[in-house]
Chains A and B, each alone.
Chain A
Amino acid sequence: MAEGAHKYLPLFVAEAIEHLTALASELVKLEHEPRGGPLWDSVFRRLHSVKGSAATVGLPAIVAISHAAEALIGKLKASGAQPDRTQIDLLLQATDALTREVERAAAELKREGQGASSLVALLENASKALPEITPPPAVKPSEKPAEKPAALDPALPRLDVFFSLSKTCQAPGARALIAQRKLRALGTLVEMEPSPQQLMQKKGGARVSALLATARSLDEVRAAFSGIPEVEEVEVRVAPLGAGPAPEIAADEPQGQLRAVGGAISVDDGRPEATVRVRAQALDQLLDQAAEVLHGIARLRESARKLPESLAGNFEAEIDRLRRTARELHGRVMTARLTPFSALTERLPRAVREMAHRLGKEVDLEVQGSEVELDRTVIDALGDPLTHLVRNAIDHGFETSAQRAAVHKSPRGKLLLHARRERDKVLVEISDDGRGLDVAGLRTRAVEMGALLPGRAAELTEQQCLELAFLPGLSTRAEATDLSGRGVGLDAVKAAVEALGGKLSVRSTAGRGSQFTLELPLSVSMANLLLVQVGGELYGLPLHRVVVTTEHDLSARGGEGFEARSIAVMGQLLRAYSLSKLFGLPSLAPPGPRPFAVLEVDGITFALSVDRLVGQEEAVLKPLFPPLDRIKGLAGTTVLGNGRPLLVLDPRGLYELAESAARLKGAA
């Protein structure tokens, strides 16, 4: 790699990946592009741009591949010939190879970090040689043993290390970071997969594999894990020779995925809008903090009510102004998080082409509205449902070319993905011109499954029959194919869309095709919930208000008839209320100790008894609609991952409710 070019290498990597991703989808379209169409220019330009930058940065392999591919494109374009499938396949292979080379360059970049650390060591030594005046620069203790500037000694034994993070681990990224630090203290960590950053917020257990170059014994490495909580099933063994790529230092790279803000991917004929790249994670944190500011202002406003009237007016006016600014800030961060629909569809053309060919079908994909923007949370959660619907269409929706010819349809099926904005919603339609859903089949299957009585089935309209397709476990296909099927059905797609606060609907005409419509919110807010059960009903408590959960036996103090009393939690007396009493629900808890959630709002700590603590879940919070919004103690609603609706409680409202109930009782 050329000396001195590294400064711009990160930029090269980011841009090249953007070009190559777009290139793959453009190449697929090129098969049907008319001679001299604009796509030819775009494909040519992308390859040329990658080649030029690669030459500047000093990456000869990338220059060679892109040069050869560019030459082929140039010839095809000049000859005016339509490229055939093998040529497009070859160009797609070249795109893959280029992507791999760029990723290798990115890994190289990480390795440069080690060179930097040797420079750091030199600088530090130089500092140490000078008399102490100010404290020396901080050196993290964890870095001292592993970050010696020496290159990796090839004679060092390499060990394969495997370990699992426990299912109950609440912060797997942080847990993996601790394990990574431990491994680095033992030798040179060649690789670790998945990385701590990848594991962030991936709850529910994970298996991690690492390759460690070290002179330590297997037992020493095993023993190092005994001091780490939530780590299980540790396996250490000697790695087969030649294992693993060149060493990398994963933590030295910028964390999180990079993305352009402002949606300014260079436009064909205009100058690109100025953009900076920020870590997606940084935007998430910014959003959380903007929301926190809004909450803080709400609390201030509440406190202002206690001020004498002479002061209150001015104060409230200032707070209102502050709130408007904070709202605007929150809105702007939300906007910055918006991601174009194309993030989901860029890889689809190729996937569709491959899937269709495997099934002996010909399908053209058209994407409209790829510039429409959605919240990143929605985009992230939409990947699987969308892929599922596309697969379904290719697998079940389209006929084979021969079948299509027999009914006088064009031999090539048409799959249309259309996104468009409608007020505060985004509609995504997936339409095919295939055979349409099998209405009679759906009706029969629903009756067979016992989901519908035969008499009722006969009364259903055609549209109602179509909606039977969303029933769990219902498929009109006898066996699952390897493309779609295998247990995940449209019911899962529907649940995923509803968990985002959206809706899924279907239309279909026999012989003409079907259309699925996803109605999605522009933005969502996520909440971590503690799920509790009372009187057979499930409720959610915002987890950031839950200080601790505990058990307490009240029967020793006069049975279940309490409205408000105190219990001792960790040596402290707290007011305790029963959620079943507050909501007038029967308590179904067995006698004996019952669970309490200790909640904290605005400095007030109190305990709330429930029948059962059910678990935790992250869910999208939706505002209450009238008349529910007038009920004290409710904060919002949500739909759980399994499609079940849930009321989310407002601890502050609950406390006020409980206090006023207690006061009323005292007055009576």
Chain B
Amino acid sequence: MPQRRVLIVDDALFMRNTLRDIFTNAGFAVAGEADDGVQAVNLFRELKPDLVTMDIVMPYKSGIDATREIVQLDPAAVVIMCSALGQESLVMEAIEAGATDFIVKPFRGEDVLAVVKKVLGE
């Protein structure tokens, strides 16, 4: 199987680094990182990743709006929302906007990978 390519979107450097380690340790390639929704949409268009992890609350453009635009660009895009506990209604809004699935912070590496593998059908 070719190496899967991930785009990580989060305004917190710590979260981006954490996710990058989880993915690289599991054999994924991190195609790019974005720290706001505008950049996320631009990078998605440019990099065509297999998977996007998307924070919800971000400057300039929320993760929900970015997800909506990404799904418009590619209806088959796999976008996984990274939400904090208590953001359930936002997560549901994101799913309505076309997000594929979600994970809830605080998360462990294996939780993230379990969700990713499930939605990628691996």
1/0 per residue A527-547: CB within 8 Å of B? 010100000000000011011
Q: Is the CB of A140 within 8 A of B88?
A: no
User: Which among A170, A171, A227, A571 is the interface contact of B21 at CB below 8 angstroms?
Assistant: A571
* Contact A548-B119, Cβ < 8 Å, known A141-B75, A229-B101: no
Q: Is the CB of A227 within 8 A of B121?
A: yes
State how many angstroms separate the Cβ of A531 from the closest Cβ of chain B. Answer: 13
Task: Give Cα distance in the complex from A530 to B89, angstroms.
Answer: 21
Q: Is B15 an interface residue (CB 8 A)?
A: yes
Task: Give Cα distance in the complex from A569 to B22, angstroms.
Answer: 11
Residues on A with C-beta less than 8 A from B95 are: 174, 177-178, 181
User: Which among A174, A227, A616 is the interface contact of B92 at CB below 8 angstroms?
Assistant: A174
User: Which among B15, B91, B96 is the interface contact of A140 at CB below 8 angstroms?
Assistant: B96
Task: Give Cα distance in the complex from A228 to B116, angstroms.
Answer: 10
Residues on B with C-beta less than 8 A from A569 are: 18
Q: Is the CB of B88 within 8 A of A544?
A: no
* Contact A174-B91, Cβ < 8 Å, known A141-B71, A227-B118, A229-B101: yes
Q: Is the CB of B92 within 8 A of A177?
A: yes
Quick one: closest A residue to B121, CB to CB?
A: A227
1/0 per residue B59-85: CB within 8 Å of A? 000000000100110011000000111
State how many angstroms separate the Cβ of A223 from the closest Cβ of chain B. Answer: 10
Q: Is the CB of A171 within 8 A of B91?
A: yes
Interface centre among A142, A200, A226, A251 (most CB of B within 10 A): A142
Task: Give Cα distance in the complex from A598 to B76, angstroms.
Answer: 35
Q: Is the CB of B22 within 8 A of A549?
A: no
Residues on B with C-beta less than 8 A from A141 are: 71, 75-76, 98
Q: Is the CB of B108 within 8 A of A549?
A: yes
Residues on A with C-beta less than 8 A from B72 are: 135, 138
State how many angstroms separate the Cβ of B84 from the closest Cβ of chain A. Answer: 6
1/0 per residue A214-249: CB within 8 Å of B? 000000000000111100000000000000000000
Q: Is B105 an interface residue (CB 8 A)?
A: yes
Question: How many B residues, CB 8 Å from partner?
Answer: 38
Residues on B with C-beta less than 8 A from A281 are: 89
Quick one: closest B residue to A292, CB to CB?
A: B57
Q: Is the CB of B88 within 8 A of A201?
A: yes
Task: Give Cα distance in the complex from A229 to B105, angstroms.
Answer: 16
Q: Is B26 an interface residue (CB 8 A)?
A: no
Residues on B with C-beta less than 8 A from A550 are: 108
Q: Is B44 an interface residue (CB 8 A)?
A: no
Residues on A with C-beta less than 8 A from B75 are: 141
State how many angstroms separate the Cβ of A236 from the closest Cβ of chain B. Answer: 19
Q: Is A605 an interface residue (CB 8 A)?
A: yes
Interface centre among A570, A597, A605, A616 (most CB of B within 10 A): A570
Q: Is B106 an interface residue (CB 8 A)?
A: yes
Task: Give Cα distance in the complex from A200 to B88, angstroms.
Answer: 7
Q: Is A173 an interface residue (CB 8 A)?
A: yes
Residues on B with C-beta less than 8 A from A314 are: none
Q: Is the CB of B118 within 8 A of A285?
A: no
Q: Is the CB of A547 within 8 A of B91?
A: no
Q: Is the CB of A228 within 8 A of B118?
A: yes
Quick one: closest B residue to A201, CB to CB?
A: B88
Q: In the complex, which residues 88-122 of chain B have their Cβ closer than 8 Å to any Cβ of chain A?
A: 88-89, 91-92, 95-98, 101-102, 104-109, 114-115, 118-119, 121
Chain B contact residues, CB within 8 Å of chain A: 12, 14-15, 17-18, 21-22, 68, 71-72, 75-76, 83-89, 91-92, 95-98, 101-102, 104-109, 114-115, 118-119, 121
Could you pull out 10 A-B pairs where Cβ atoms are within 8 angstroms?
A140-B96, A141-B71, A142-B98, A171-B91, A288-B86, A543-B106, A546-B105, A549-B108, A571-B21, A597-B106
Chain A contact residues, CB within 8 Å of chain B: 135, 138, 140-142, 170-171, 173-174, 177-178, 181, 196, 200-201, 226-229, 251, 281, 285, 288, 528, 530, 543-544, 546-550, 569-572, 597-598, 600, 605, 616
The 8 closest A-B pairs by CB, nearest first: A141-B75, A170-B104, A174-B91, A570-B18, A570-B21, A171-B88, A229-B118, A548-B106
